[in-house]
Amino acid sequence: VTGVSDFVMPLPLPLDVVSLAMGVVNIESVSHDEGPLADSVEQALRTQAHLTVERFGHTVVARTDLGRAERVVVVGHLDTVPEDGNLLAYVEMGKLFGLGACDMKGGLAVMLKSAALRDYGREVTLVFYDGEEVAGLDGLAGLVQGRPDLLQGDLAIVMEPTDARVEIADGGAGGRASVVTAFAELVGMEPVATQGRTTAGRFTELGIPALTFGPGDPRLAHTRQEFVPTAQLTECEHVLREWLRA
């Protein structure tokens, strides 16, 4: 018999990316309370025999080890800013509304879909981390300090909302890497340079080419009206799938 406290909300990976994003939105995960969402993500990833899954607090890392030449690290944070109650997910006119839909549960759903591909031409490491929206050491910084080996790769993709554009740190060496250019070509656009400190910048500091690419308009983050266009969920899923299959 499973008690209520043991119940883990399922995130079935065969679901389409929009349904999966709704499921992720509906598991409340305000900073410091990412446990239930981390549990659901971990459980979903553990259904995939080709993944090695590790858990560090409320951070979950899953990786393939298929002997491919290149590795892509895809990164997303599990937490949302607090709101007066969780805003449940609903879809209206091609927009998925709900707390964290834009920042960045849509991106998390895209990451989850990439965990269940049938064929991989590149290795993938998926990093779902906690504590991004609050001050202090977040789960990604914890890995930088404790398990930097898990962050190694030929390209890091941070799935924060960019309106499905490719953003690179302004002046960063990561943006000049040929692998970044190749990814931007797959998306079909020139990379956009961004100012200031970004999560992608934490990878370029480690010497790993990095870019930001995810569904949703970043200006909608942290607002009660936030939504993610369902077409961008599908588009980002497609791009990531093509990159991982290549």
Contact set with Zn ion (CB under 5 A): 103-104, 160
Least CB distance from residue 52 to Zn ion, whole Å?
26
Least CB distance from residue 107 to Zn ion, whole Å?
8
Residue with Cβ nearer Zn ion (157 or 177): 157
Residue with Cβ nearer Zn ion (24 or 179): 24
Residue with Cβ nearer Zn ion (159 or 179): 159
| DSSP reduced 3-state for 231 | helix
Name residues whose C-beta falls within 8 Å of residue 178's C-beta, 6 or more positions apart in sequence.
none
Nearest-angstrom CA–CA distance, 44 and 19: 14
Least CB distance from residue 94 to Zn ion, whole Å?
22
Residue with Cβ nearer Zn ion (24 or 177): 24
Least CB distance from residue 6 to Zn ion, whole Å?
30
CB 208 within 8 A of CB 144: no
Nearest-angstrom CA–CA distance, 235 and 243: 12
Determine the Cα angle at 210 with ends 157 and 142, to 5°.
75
Residue with Cβ nearer Zn ion (70 or 83): 83
The CB-nearest residue to Zn ion is 103
Residue with Cβ nearer Zn ion (108 or 180): 108
Least CB distance from residue 2 to Zn ion, whole Å?
33
Least CB distance from residue 74 to Zn ion, whole Å?
14
CA-to-CA separations, 121 to 67, 81, 154, 233, 242, in angstroms, rounded: 10, 36, 13, 22, 9
Nearest-angstrom CA–CA distance, 235 and 189: 13
Nearest-angstrom CA–CA distance, 227 and 95: 6
